[in-house]
Amino acid sequence: MALPSRVKIVEVSPRDGLQNEKEFVPTDIKVELVDRLSAAGFPNVEAASFVSPKWVPQMADGADVMARIQRRPGTIYSVLTPNMKGFEGALAAGADEIVIFGAASEAFSQKNINCSIAESIARFEPVVQAAREAGIRVRGSISCALGCPYQGEVPVEAVVDVAQRYLAMQVDEIDVADTIGVGTPKRVREVMTAVTRVVDPARISGHFHDTYGQALANILAALESGISIFHTSVAGLGGCPYAKGATGNVATEDVLYMLRGLDIETGVDFDAVVDIGQWMSSHLNRKGSSRAGNAIAAKRAA
């Protein structure tokens, strides 16, 4: 099976990785994290979130982070925008890309935002419209695409339906996200095959969590389904609220290690990423959850 020769890694640690940290991470550290990631060669860094600080206090300094980072030419800096107010913040901050989001699970949508999937996506229409007028890229995320903490199984058709709604709104990129990390390779293939029937695979990204240890196998299955954009988080930063103590986002180091072995180009400096993971973990005063990162750091120390 022919795998893509090049993969785009979207580094999500500054936003998706840090948002659940209880201790506030100083703005200086966030800025340094974003700058080190862009310097390491990531073509896309999810840098901040323009959500209400009441909801996510950790992300309250998004405007400061965006103002203080060193913009690297060619790097796409993405920010999460839940609504029009968030979009205005993103626009003022000079974001290159905004991220909107909806779930493929009706139960999740009702429980979390008290409205149907269809309504939740429709609410983003003015945001997408405004972004397009401002020449800002739009990424639409489909959460719970491989399973839901409330309803369990999520039909493939529901994922395709959300993808089509995003497509109708002309978003640039669509994330298929395994929010709780329950997916396995067979299901990944089924979902990716169904979604790539309606959306150009070059516009689809895979966002896998490693909660059940499945993320790398799922990425391999997605690569075999023609997907070439993946979201990763250095040192596996980002917890999963549904499984205390379990890991969340797949670790960037583990993914880069696998891609290098598959002869797939990313343009990213692997050794620099291992350094960033160790630095960030030491700042957070805990061991990171990247197996490749920890193994290499241990070898270096030996």
The H or E element containing residue 133 is helix 125-133
44 binds a second copy (CB under 8 A): no
Q: Is 181 in the site for a second copy (CB under 8 A)?
A: yes
Residue 68 vs 111, nearer CB to a second copy: 111
User: Distance of CA 245 to CAs 10, 178, 182, 212, Å?
Assistant: 24, 18, 15, 12
165 or 207, CB closer to a second copy?
Answer: 207
Nearest alpha-carbon partner for 221 in 262, 162, 249, 172:
262
Q: Which of 82, 85, 80, 83 is nearest to 65 (CA)?
A: 80
What burial class does residue 112 get, using C-beta atoms within 10 Å of its C-beta: 0-12 exposed, 13-18 middle, 19+ buried? middle
Output the DSSP codes for 219-274.
Answer: HHHHHHTT--EEEEBGGG----TTSTT---BPBHHHHHHHHHHTT-B----HHHHH
Binding-site string for a second copy from residue 106 to residue 145, where x marks contact by CB under 8 A and - marks none: ----------------------------------------
Quick one: residue 63, left, alpha or beta (phi over 0 = left, psi -120 to 50 = alpha)?
alpha
Taking the complex as a whole, the smallest distance from the CB of residue 286 to a second copy amounts, in Å, to 13
**Residue 295 engages a second copy in binding (rule: CB under 8 A):** yes
Out of 23, 133, 135, 245, name the contact with a second copy by CB under 8 A.
245
210 binds a second copy (CB under 8 A): yes
Show the beta-strand stretches assigned E in 144-248.
Answer: 173-178, 204-208, 229-232
Size of the site for a second copy (CB under 8 A): 43
Residues 215-244 that bind a second copy (CB under 8 A): 216-217, 219-221, 240, 242-244
Tokens encoding 235:
């040192």
Q: How far is 15 from 175, CA to CA, in rounded Å? A: 15
Q: How far is the CB of 83 from a second copy (least distance, A)?
A: 31
Using CB under 8 A, pick the residue from 251, 273, 274, 280 that binds a second copy: 251
Q: By CB under 8 A, name the one of 29, 60, 113, 262 that touches a second copy.
A: 262
258 forms part of the interface with a second copy (CB under 8 A): yes
User: Of 10-18, 80-88, 129-137, 256-264, which part binds a second copy (CB under 8 A)?
Assistant: 256-264
The DSSP line for 32-88 is HHHHHHHHTT-SEEEEEE-S-TTT-GGGTTHHHHHHHS-PPTT-EEEEE--SHHHHH
Stretch that binds a second copy, among 26-34, 60-68, 130-138, 255-263 (CB under 8 A): 255-263
Instruction: Note if 148 is an active site residue.
Output: no
Which of 211, 225, 228, 233 contacts a second copy by CB under 8 A?
211
Residues engaged in binding a second copy (CB under 8 A):
1, 181, 183-187, 210-214, 216-217, 219-221, 240, 242-247, 251, 253-254, 257-258, 260-263, 287, 290-292, 294-295, 298-299, 301-302
Catalytic residue annotation:
240
